[in-house]
Amino acid sequence: MSTSISSNGHLDLSRRRLLQAAGVSIAALALGVPRKLPAAVATTGSSAATIRSRLILLGTAGGPTPKVDRSAPANAIVVGGDIYVIDCGNGVARQMVKASLDLGRIRDVFITHQHSDHNADYGNLLLLAWATDLHTPVNTYGPPPLERMTELFLEMDAYDIGIREKDEGRPPLAPLIRPHEITRGGPVMHDANVKVSAALVQHPPVAPAFAYRFDCPDRSIVFSGDTGPSGNLIALAHGADILVHEVIDLKAIDKVVKDEAMATRLRAHLEAAHTPMSEVGRIATKAGVKTLVLNHFVPGTPPIPDQAWYDAVKPHFKGRVIVGHDLMEL
C-alpha cells in the first residue's frame, strides 16, 4: 500500500490493486483528478483529442544500498503508449513489470548522472526488455561515459546475447541501443510525444549531473536528479506542472553517521550534494510549480514517517505536496 499526503495535510492511502481493478489511477488520489479514462486520450471541451501523460515513480529510495521499503531510483513517463525511462536503479525492469508497463514500448532512456544507484541497471533494463519483446531502437541519453558503458555491457553479456539471437531468433541487440552523451544544458530531444530539456545541477564530486524537463502534450514534468540547491534547476522548472525533487533529512543523517569512521566526510558530501527538506519547498516556490513530489529519500534507513517529510516541506510551498512511494502513478 502506498501513501501520499495531500495539500490539506491528510494522508491518502492509495490502495493500488483495488483502485486499478476499478479503473481508477493513483493520480485520482494524489492529484484529485476524476476516474482515469480507459483510452490513451482524453477529450477536451472543444472535442479535440489531447494525449494524456502518465508519471510512474518506479523507485523512490536514495543511495546505493538496498532498502526494505523502497526500490532504487527510477521513473517512467508514458505518453500515447510510449515509455520514457528516467534513471535505471537496481531492479527497474521488475518495477516496470509490477507497474504493468510493457518493456517493449521503451522508446528513450535518460540517466541524470553516473552514480550506481541511478545507472546500475542501465544495460540490464535494455537486455531484459529485448529478452521480452523489445524489437525497436531505444535512444539513451546521459553524461559520459554513456557510450563506453553501453559497449562494455554488450561485451560483458555477448555470450548470452549471441545465444538468444541464434536460439530464439531475436534481432541483434547492439543496433537497437543508441547512446547519446550530453555534457551541457539545453535541448536534448524532441519527438511527437515529448520535448526534453536538461540543466546542469550541482552534485559534487559527480559532474556533469543533470535535471530533465519533459514537456508533454498535456503538462510539464521536471526531475531534479541528485542536486544541491540549484538556480539552473529553478530556471528549468519555471512554471512546470510537476517537480519531482530529491530530499534529504540532515538531522536524521547525523544520527545515522555518528558512529561511522568517515562520518564527518560523509556528512559534508551529503550536505553539498543534496537538498535539505525545507529548501526543497523554497525551490518549488521560486520555480512556481503547481505540484511538488518528494523523491529519492535520504536517509532510507531507518524509514522516516511520511508526515515528517511533509511537515518539513509544506511551510515553504503553498502548492500540493506529495510524498512519493514506489509504483505511485500521477
Distance from C-alpha of 10 to C-alpha of 264, rounded to nearest angstrom: 37
Band of pLDDT at residue 49, cut at 50, 70 and 90: low
Distance from C-alpha of 215 to C-alpha of 64, rounded to nearest angstrom: 30
Q: Is 191 a catalytic residue?
A: no
**pLDDT, mean of residues 177-201:** 98
Pairwise pLDDT comparison (84 vs 38), residue with the higher score: 84
Band of pLDDT at residue 271, cut at 50, 70 and 90: confident
Pairwise pLDDT comparison (28 vs 137), residue with the higher score: 137
Would you say residue 285 has pLDDT above 70?
yes
Coil/strand/helix, residue 229: coil
- The pLDDT, as a whole number, for residue 3 is 41
Distance from C-alpha of 109 to C-alpha of 96, rounded to nearest angstrom: 13
Phi first, then psi: give them for residue 17, nearest 5 degrees: -65, -45
HSE value, Cβ hemisphere, 13 Å, CA-based, for 174: 15
β-strand pairing of 82-88 with 74-79: antiparallel
Distance from C-alpha of 20 to C-alpha of 36, rounded to nearest angstrom: 10
Give exposure, 26-53, as e/b (b: 16+ Cβ within 10 Å): bbbbbbeeeebeeeeeeeeeeeeeebbb
Which of 43-47, 62-66, 202-206, 245-249 shows the lowest per-residue confidence on average (mean pLDDT)?
Answer: 43-47
Would you say residue 208 has pLDDT above 70?
yes
Distance from C-alpha of 3 to C-alpha of 11, rounded to nearest angstrom: 7
Which residues, in sequence order, are CB contacts of 223 under 8 Å at separation 6+?
75, 86, 87, 112, 211, 212, 213, 214, 244
* Rg, Å, the chain Cα set: 19
Which of 88-102, 152-166, 260-274 shows the lowest per-residue confidence on average (mean pLDDT)?
Answer: 260-274
- The pLDDT, as a whole number, for residue 260 is 61
Contact, 31 vs 267, CB < 8 A?
Answer: no
Nearest CA among 5, 32, 61, 57 for reference residue 223: 57
Would you say residue 317 has pLDDT above 60?
yes
Band of pLDDT at residue 261, cut at 50, 70 and 90: low
- The pLDDT, as a whole number, for residue 17 is 36
Band of pLDDT at residue 34, cut at 50, 70 and 90: very low
Coil/strand/helix, residue 100: coil
Catalytic residue from among 87, 117, 121, 215: 117
pTM of the model: 0.85
Would you say residue 188 has pLDDT above 70?
yes
Helix (H) or strand (E) holding 223: strand 220-223
- The pLDDT, as a whole number, for residue 330 is 97
Phi first, then psi: give them for residue 162, nearest 5 degrees: -60, -40
Domains of the chain, earliest start first:
2-329 (3.60.15.10)
- The pLDDT, as a whole number, for residue 163 is 96
Contact, 170 vs 136, CB < 8 A?
Answer: no
Distance from C-alpha of 81 to C-alpha of 236, rounded to nearest angstrom: 26
Pairwise pLDDT comparison (25 vs 68), residue with the higher score: 68
Distance from C-alpha of 284 to C-alpha of 246, rounded to nearest angstrom: 12
What the block records as the C-alpha cell of 231 is 538556480
What the block records as the C-alpha cell of 60 is 523512490
